[in-house]
Structure 1
Amino acid sequence: MALCEIEMKNFSVFSDGKISLSPNLNVFIGANGTGKTQLLKAVYGCCELAEDHRESFQSCFQLNAKTKFLARDKKRETCRFSLSSTNQKAKIVTNHLVEAGDSEVKAIAYENSLFPKKVNAVYLPVKDMLTHSRGLLAMANKYNDFPFDKTLLDSIERASRWGLKKPSALAKKILPFLEPLIHGTIDIENDEFYVLKQNGQRVNFELEAEGFKKIGILWQLLMNETIIEGTVLLWDEPEANLNPEFLPVVADCLLELSRQNVQVLISTHSYILAKYIEIRARDKDQVRFHSLYKEKDGLVYDEQKEKFSDLHNNAITTAFEALMDEIYAKQVGE
């Protein structure tokens, strides 16, 4: 089973319509403010819905405490986010009403049609949450108005699970890419994370380089079987804080995960990462590049291509070409 389609109506910054997903690897690009993170969180929230916790979807977002709505146009009645897989569909529908003389929008109805079988989804945020893991989950359970949404807290909870002594078949495919980068493995003690270096050194995550943390959490989620075959992996800006020399390895990891029946959705601002994914993809790999871009109406639309270089609305390439033009102009001027 794989997620195959997103459908939105009056949701966030997006135009009404559908986004088709590849069953293997999806790469979302776009300028700031085009909703890449919100889209990944919404997909995760749909996968996480449970009958006894209907607010799971909205708890994936940092919403205004008074209104808690995701509608783009608050005067329209319906806000809809639907997610379909190859054999089931989940639907989020919220209806809103603006009361006379009151600018606050209040939800008057909430409907959800859930996946019959829960989808195992993993969300990796841009922020490093493991450095702040000690006691954070306990505080989140104690205080209602906590400044971290569900996606961030879930990333800590899942990374904190005990790891296997021996890697799974899936982990054996991916770990050889990762361990040379972090020069070791991950260890957890008293809710704190450490990197056990190959030279025997034990480094607290607070003192570790940000790039190593990024690789380390993926290592841990593979070793504790949070990421298994059939998982949907949603990774927001995997290139953030990474040394550029790591990017081809990350591209190889994402492609290999997708070959091992892990559906991958990432957002990125990195020309290097996107190009490595494009050129290292095999003929049988189903890679889909999505460009989220704004039109004159202020709404965000989705352009889809199998090749990164074929995208017409490509904010990353536009910025890269502007740099190259400036370099060329300076060299010619000299």
Structure 2
Amino acid sequence: MSGPAIFLPSRETLAMYEGFIQAYETRELSFDETYRDICVLLSGSPLLGPRLARARSLAEPLEKILGGSVRLTGNRFYLTSPEGNLEAHLVAEGHRKLASLTHLVLNGSLLQNSVLFWDEPEANLNPRLVSVVAEILRKLAAFGIQIFVSTHDYLLTSELSMAMEFSELFPMAESADIRFFGLSVSPDFTVQTGNTLADLTDNDLVGEFADHYDRQSEFMRRLLNKQAGASSVKGERK
């Protein structure tokens, strides 16, 4: 990969954009440099000509979710829809993250051969949108953007895993080479790799969901046994 590298932190930056770059460069702030870097990238104007047409094909699914387009007016971001302009800080945080991604696509920051690092894209995101985000990630990857996602979300990892497990059912435009990495620091630092989520044999995501299912099944068994015992006592009293 020879293009630029972009890091999207788990905390969105669209609402804090106004005045952030100047404040970061002139004052002591409790934010690391990655927030300043992403604000600089967000400051870019939209592309023009054929490059904008290609970028818009990637941004349209995101704009459909948002219900409008992202605009930088002055030093403030807005979500523009048929109902009017909505200031970024009034938009739900999960949607602001998608709006940031949309603007980065349209202003050319996310180009073919670039690299995207996205920390916990599911944070503060409506669960109904997780499958859509997985689809968008696949489209960006198929476009030629290398993507690294760090996540603790079972839904997102499962959606991406299904794209590999049932790859013949996914359109070619959405196909992407996906790899999974499981990191562990206890007792020693280890890395597992696999083509699907199931290939990670020591996986806290899958393990905890399996434990949750077992606990739920046990509670249900105990409740049914308790109800059956109460019915038996009532029958004996009669």
The two structures share one fold, judged by TM-score above 0.5: yes
Letter in 1 for 2:86: V
1:286 pairs, out of 156, 167, 177, with 177
Q: Deviations over 1:159-217 (max 9, x none)?
A: 121113666354234223211210001011221111112x2321111111111101101
Q: Does 1:128 align with 2:19?
A: no
**Larger displacement relative to structure 2 (156-165 or 224-233):** 156-165
Q: Does 1:176 align with 2:87?
A: no
Alignment correspondent of 1:71: none
Letter in 1 for 2:198: S
- Aligned residue-pair number: 214
- Would you tell me which structure has more strand in proportion to its own residues? 1
Alignment correspondent of 1:313: 202
SS at match of 2:141: helix
Alignment correspondent of 2:77: 193
Letter in 2 for 1:208: V
SS at match of 2:162: helix
RMSD (Å), alpha carbons: 1.8
> How far is the alpha carbon of 1:294 from its aligned partner?
2.1
Question: Is the contact made by 1:170 and 1:229 (CA closer than 8 Å) also made in structure 2?
Answer: no
Alignment correspondent of 2:214: 325
Question: Is the contact made by 2:120 and 2:152 (CA closer than 8 Å) also made in structure 1?
Answer: yes
1:149–1:162 distance in 2 versus 1, CA, 3 Å: same
Larger radius of gyration: 2
SS at match of 1:132: coil
Unaligned runs of 5+ in 1: 3-117
Alignment correspondent of 1:273: 156
2:133 pairs, out of 234, 250, 263, with 250
SS at match of 1:156: helix
TM-score calculated relative to the size of structure 1: 0.61
Q: Deviations over 1:287-331 (max 9, x none)?
A: 1100001232xx422111111111012111111112111221122
Identity of counterpart residues, as a percentage? 27
1:195–1:119 distance in 2 versus 1, CA, 3 Å: same
Alignment correspondent of 2:42: 159
Q: Deviations over 1:199-237 (max 9, x none)?
A: 232111111111110110111001101001010010000
Distance, in Å, in 2 between the alignment partners of 1:131 and 1:330 is 44
SS at match of 2:179: strand
1:221 pairs, out of 100, 104, 122, with 104
1:315–1:169 distance in 2 versus 1, CA, 3 Å: farther
**Larger displacement relative to structure 2 (164-173 or 177-186):** 164-173
Question: Is the contact made by 2:3 and 2:112 (CA closer than 8 Å) also made in structure 1?
Answer: no
TM-score calculated relative to the size of structure 2: 0.84
Distance, in Å, in 2 between the alignment partners of 1:187 and 1:119 is 25
Task: Identify which of structures 1 and 2 has the higher relative contact order when contacts are C-alpha pairs closer than 8 Å and 6+ apart.
Answer: 1
- Would you tell me which structure has more helix in proportion to its own residues? 2
Unaligned runs of 5+ in 2: 169-174, 224-238
